[in-house]
């Protein structure tokens, strides 16, 4: 065991809950709390939600298992994992493009993710300091416009978020993550339930929100809605960009991958559904529109916090925890590139994190300016912020996921995956069918629809 093989020196997370916590930390974030309600709102609710749930079950869960298994079988960074597996299997080296794409996709996502996380931090601060107290929904909406219209204000919070991300990431995945998440994730859960209670009992519109989310109007299942639902399924489970491959490399050999994958998918879905059930009743109670767009979460919840007893403190805690949930996702967005850069160049983790984080920060300014000075700068009719989201959701994540599925299902020897997944033969065959046929076919259909 020499320096030849980085895997030999890589430690695993010894606690069996740590992988679960890290994977759930990656999955649960702005995707659930901010993005899910706003996209579901834009595509009209129930029909979108139904397609989304199907994508999670049929595409998401099998792929979650495949990515984790690839990471754990090699214990290398995603790019080197792909290199080792292609050479072991004696297949075309080009498959390592999965590793390259993963790094690129994580980079692009974090450029806009950090800006939105910055909004959450800004809201936490403004709620705490009483900026919103007593405001009506119109005034709260005006404040959202004011924040996004101001480049300096957004840059401040974007910078703070990236600085915290770099600081925590530089300390190392083991030390940095574990302790914080053990406390924060359960607290976020409790707070979401408190807000759910509020939506049920205090808005008087709970059933209307409920019906919006679960009544399926089949005429609303358009090609565009299906594309968005599938993109959201990838995004929310952190799939298609090697994040879970990178984390899988640290997973203890005796943890069950299928069980962990099911748990993560379940928790993530639960969080998204609860967020929707919190947001939509409040939206109706304050006369807002479900289709309001990226400001939906911020304007609706803040309107509620502004007018409830203890709203300043509760609102502060809520948005601070959203920021922390975003942080644990952000760390996983950097991890694939960081793991590779440190393996490849042997440079110190702190320096590498600062360089990657700095580049993301810089490109992220494009997203900040999308709402103000560059609002008219458009590519394919989209601002930089919208384009970054569209490119990753519609192309990069599904494509990365499909390539990973084809690789795991068709290129690798059956035994490589069956050893890692350790399922009964029957269940393994079900998984293999999904990974070989369903995932690639679903993605092909989506890409065809999107490009048509």
Residues at the site binding Na ion, with contacts judged by CB under 5 A? 27, 31-32, 236, 268
- Return the residue of 236, 275, 300, 307 that touches ligand PHE, per CB under 6 A: 236
Q: What would the x/- binding string for ligand PHE be over residues 51 to 90, using CB under 6 A?
A: ----------------------------------------
* Nearest distance from C-beta of residue 401 to ligand PHE, angstroms: 11
Nearer to ligand PHE, 80 or 275 (CB): 275
CB atoms within 10 A of CB 169: 26
Residue 329 binds ligand PHE (CB under 6 A): yes
Give the chain's length: 452
**Closest by CA position to 416, among listed 66, 93, 92, 79:** 66
Nearest residue relative to ligand PHE (C-beta): 31
**Beta carbons of 81 and 249 less than 8 angstroms apart:** yes
Residue 303 binds ligand PHE (CB under 6 A): no
Residue 24 binds ligand PHE (CB under 6 A): no
**DSSP reduced 3-state for 207:** helix
Helix or strand holding residue 37 (H, E): helix 36-42
Angstrom distance (rounded) from CA 315 to CA 313: 5
- Return the residue of 18, 32, 77, 260 that touches ligand PHE, per CB under 6 A: 32
**DSSP reduced 3-state for 291:** coil
Residue 304 interacting partner from ligand PHE, Na ion, none (CB closer than 5 to 8 Å by kind): none
Quick one: CA torsion of 195, 198, 204, 206, rounded to 10 degrees? 40
Instruction: Tell me the number of residues near ligand PHE by CB under 6 A.
Output: 15
Residue 333 interacting partner from ligand PHE, Na ion, none (CB closer than 5 to 8 Å by kind): ligand PHE
Residue 241 interacting partner from Na ion, ligand PHE, none (CB closer than 5 to 8 Å by kind): ligand PHE
Instruction: Give the interface segment with ligand PHE, choosing from 27-35, 39-47, 289-297, 348-356 (CB under 6 A).
Output: 27-35
- Measured in Å, how far apart are the chain's first and last C-alpha atoms? 52
Buried b or exposed e, range 78-95, using 16+ CB within 10 angstroms: bbbbbbbbbeeeeeeeeb
Residue 116 binds ligand PHE (CB under 6 A): no
Residue 329 interacting partner from Na ion, ligand PHE, none (CB closer than 5 to 8 Å by kind): ligand PHE
- Return the residue of 73, 238, 302, 383 that touches ligand PHE, per CB under 6 A: 238
Instruction: Quote the DSSP letter at residue 41.
Output: H
Phi, psi of 379 (to 5 degrees): -120, 130
* Nearest distance from C-beta of residue 181 to Na ion, angstroms: 14
Phi, psi of 68 (to 5 degrees): -60, -45
Paired strand residues for 75: none
* Nearest distance from C-beta of residue 69 to Na ion, angstroms: 20
CA–chain centroid gap for 116, Å, is 12
Residue 185 binds ligand PHE (CB under 6 A): no
Residue 30 binds ligand PHE (CB under 6 A): yes
Instruction: Give the interface segment with ligand PHE, choosing from 13-21, 23-31, 61-69, 257-265 (CB under 6 A).
Output: 23-31
Residue 332 binds ligand PHE (CB under 6 A): yes
Here the tokens at position 130 are 């009483």
Residue 404 binds ligand PHE (CB under 6 A): no
What residues have CB less than 8 Å from 61, skipping those under 6 apart?
Answer: 261, 262, 265
Residue 109 binds ligand PHE (CB under 6 A): yes
* Nearest distance from C-beta of residue 195 to ligand PHE, angstroms: 18
Which residue reads 């109706």 in tokens? 284
Nearer to ligand PHE, 20 or 30 (CB): 30
Helix or strand holding residue 113 (H, E): helix 97-128
* Nearest distance from C-beta of residue 232 to ligand PHE, angstroms: 9
Residue 31 binds ligand PHE (CB under 6 A): yes
Nearer to ligand PHE, 303 or 337 (CB): 337
Helices (H), 307-373: 311-345, 349-369
Helices (H), 129-249: 137-149, 151-170, 173-202, 206-214, 223-236, 243-248
Instruction: Give the interface segment with ligand PHE, choosing from 4-12, 137-145, 194-202, 233-241 (CB under 6 A).
Output: 233-241
Angstrom distance (rounded) from CA 197 to CA 203: 10
- Return the residue of 22, 23, 24, 27 that touches ligand PHE, per CB under 6 A: 27
Contacting residues toward ligand PHE, per CB under 6 A: 26-27, 29-32, 109, 235-236, 238, 241, 243, 329, 332-333
């Amino acid at each position: 065991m020499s320096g030849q093989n980085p895997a030999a020196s890589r430690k695993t997370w010894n606690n069996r809950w740590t992988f679960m916590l890290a994977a759930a930390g990656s999955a649960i974030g702005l995707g659930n709390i901010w993005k899910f309600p706003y996209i579901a709102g834009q595509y009209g609710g129930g029909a979108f939600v139904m397609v989304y749930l199907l994508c999670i079950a049929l595409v998401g869960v099998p792929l979650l298992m495949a990515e984790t298994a690839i990471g754990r079988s090699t214990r290398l960074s995603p790019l080197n994992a792909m290199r080792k597996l292609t050479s072991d299997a004696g297949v075309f080296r080009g498959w390592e493009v999965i590793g390259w794409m993963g790094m690129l996709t994580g980079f692009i996502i974090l450029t806009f993710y950090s800006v939105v996380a910055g909004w959450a931090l800004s809201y936490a601060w403004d709620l705490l300091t009483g900026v919103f107290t007593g405001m009506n929904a119109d005034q709260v909406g005006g404040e959202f416009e004011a924040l996004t219209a101001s480049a300096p204000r957004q840059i401040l919070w974007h910078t703070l978020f990236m600085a915290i991300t770099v600081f925590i990431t530089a300390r190392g995945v083991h030390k940095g993550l574990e302790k914080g998440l053990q406390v924060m994730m359960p607290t976020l859960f409790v707070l979401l339930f408190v807000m759910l209670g509020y939506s049920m009992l205090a808005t008087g519109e709970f059933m209307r929100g409920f019906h919006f989310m679960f009544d399926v109007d089949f005429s609303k299942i358009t090609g565009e809605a299906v594309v968005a639902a599938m993109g959201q399924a990838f995004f929310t489970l952190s799939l298609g960009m090697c994040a879970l491959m990178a984390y899988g490399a640290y997973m203890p050999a005796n943890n069950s991958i299928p069980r962990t994958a099911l748990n993560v998918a379940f928790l993530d879905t639960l969080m998204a559904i609860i967020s929707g059930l919190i947001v939509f009743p409040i939206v109706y109670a304050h006369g807002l529109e479900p289709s309001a767009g990226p400001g939906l979460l911020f304007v609706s919840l803040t309107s509620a916090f502004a007018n409830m007893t203890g709203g300043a403190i509760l609102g502060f805690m809520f948005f601070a925890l959203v920021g922390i949930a975003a942080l644990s996702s952000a760390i996983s967005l950097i991890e694939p590139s960081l793991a590779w850069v440190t393996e490849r160049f042997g440079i110190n983790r702190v320096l590498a994190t600062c360089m990657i984080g700095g580049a993301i920060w810089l490109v992220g300014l494009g997203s900040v300016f999308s709402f103000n000075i560059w609002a008219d700068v458009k590519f394919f009719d989209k601002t930089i912020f919208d384009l970054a989201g569209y490119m990753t959701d519609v192309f990069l994540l599904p494509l990365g996921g499909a390539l990973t599925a084809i690789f795991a299902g068709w290129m690798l020897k059956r035994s490589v995956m069956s050893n890692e997944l350790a399922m009964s033969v029957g269940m393994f065959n079900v998984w293999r069918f999904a990974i070989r046929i369903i995932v690639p076919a679903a993605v092909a259909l989506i890409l065809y629809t999107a490009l048509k």
